[in-house]
Amino acid sequence: MSELKKRIFFALIAAPVFVAFLWFGGLAFKILILLLTIATQTEIARMLKPDGFGPNALVMYLSAVWIIWLPEIQYAHLYGFGLLLLLYLIEVTGGQKNDFRRLFSTVYCAVCVPAIYLTLVLLRSVLFGDNMAGFAVTLAVMLMVWGNDVFAFFGGTTFGKNLLAPAISPKKTWEGFYSGFIGSAAGLAIVYFSMEAFPLNLTLAAPLILVVGIFGPVGDLTASKLKRSFGVKDSSSIFPGHGGVYDRFDAVMVAAPAVYVYLYID
């Protein structure tokens, strides 16, 4: 089976599963996001570990649970302060090499990664409520990111001539980047015209095409930069033809927070 066929076959299975959890929302979706968070943390930690400054696993995973459940935890800020204090004591008194490099890598994996995934929970269950409106908005974001990725791939392979960021990704082109906006628009249109529960009017919804079309590729390039700096092609091989969780959600990890900030401000 070719690499492209593997990608298509896996997507046809994985996408409906994700949408099903998204539909249920609530605890089911939080558990899925927690698992994705932990998987991404683990994959990034594996990339960092060979260079001697892998993050502290205990703090990293405790933080994932805390941040994903942050909206519902009373005195969450005290728990967070306790985690950071524990992290500092472990790293400073542990006698490990590269203590402060480990400290910064742990902060990234323990705070940044879960906080990024948290925006999916906020979009689904908090910003518009744990209802069909939240489902519709989050589904639109995911379809826009997936559409952007698909159109960028085929647009780049068909028309690509001018490299977008040759030092980071030798295959991504400006032609693919611009094609991605068509995919983002298509993803938004599917939800906008088919779901009455979608809470945004066209004036608010249309700019999402730009938000996802720009920040999705930024997430992709960020992941490529990180992997290239550590000499890794894929974050893992858990998904046939797709690499790891980080490989599949790198665009979402930047696009979703950008969408959340845009909608929160408006």
Judge contact between 243 and 236, C-beta under 8 A: yes
Residue owning tokens 């942050």: 70
Is the model's pLDDT at 105 over the cut of 60?
Answer: yes
pLDDT (0 to 100) of residue 55: 85
Element (H, E) at 118: helix 113-121
Distance of alpha carbon 257 from alpha carbon 261, whole angstroms = 6
Task: Please compute, for residue 183, the number of CA atoms within 13 A of its CA located in the half-sphere on the CB side.
Answer: 27
Q: How remote is the C-alpha of 220 from its chain's centroid?
A: 9
Average pLDDT (202-221) is: 97
Judge contact between 111 and 83, C-beta under 8 A: no
Element (H, E) at 164: strand 163-165
166 exposed, middle or buried (CB, 10 Å; 0-12, 13-18, 19+)?
Answer: exposed
pLDDT digits (tens, 9 = 90+) for 143-197: 999 999 999 999 999 999 999 999 888 889 999 999 999 999 999 999 999 999 9
Pick from 185, 118, 184: nearest CA to 146: 184
Instruction: For residue 214, report the phi and psi dihedrals to the nearest 5 degrees.
Output: -95, -50
Instruction: Report the mean per-residue pLDDT for the chain.
Output: 87
pTM of the entire predicted model? 0.89
Predicted confidence band of residue 214 (pLDDT cuts 50, 70, 90): very high
Distance of alpha carbon 194 from alpha carbon 206, whole angstroms = 16
pLDDT (0 to 100) of residue 263: 96
Judge contact between 29 and 125, C-beta under 8 A: yes
Instruction: For residue 166, report the phi and psi dihedrals to the nearest 5 degrees.
Output: -60, -30
Instruction: For residue 170, report the phi and psi dihedrals to the nearest 5 degrees.
Output: -75, -5
Is the model's pLDDT at 91 over the cut of 80?
Answer: no
Average pLDDT (46-62) is: 82
pLDDT (0 to 100) of residue 73: 57
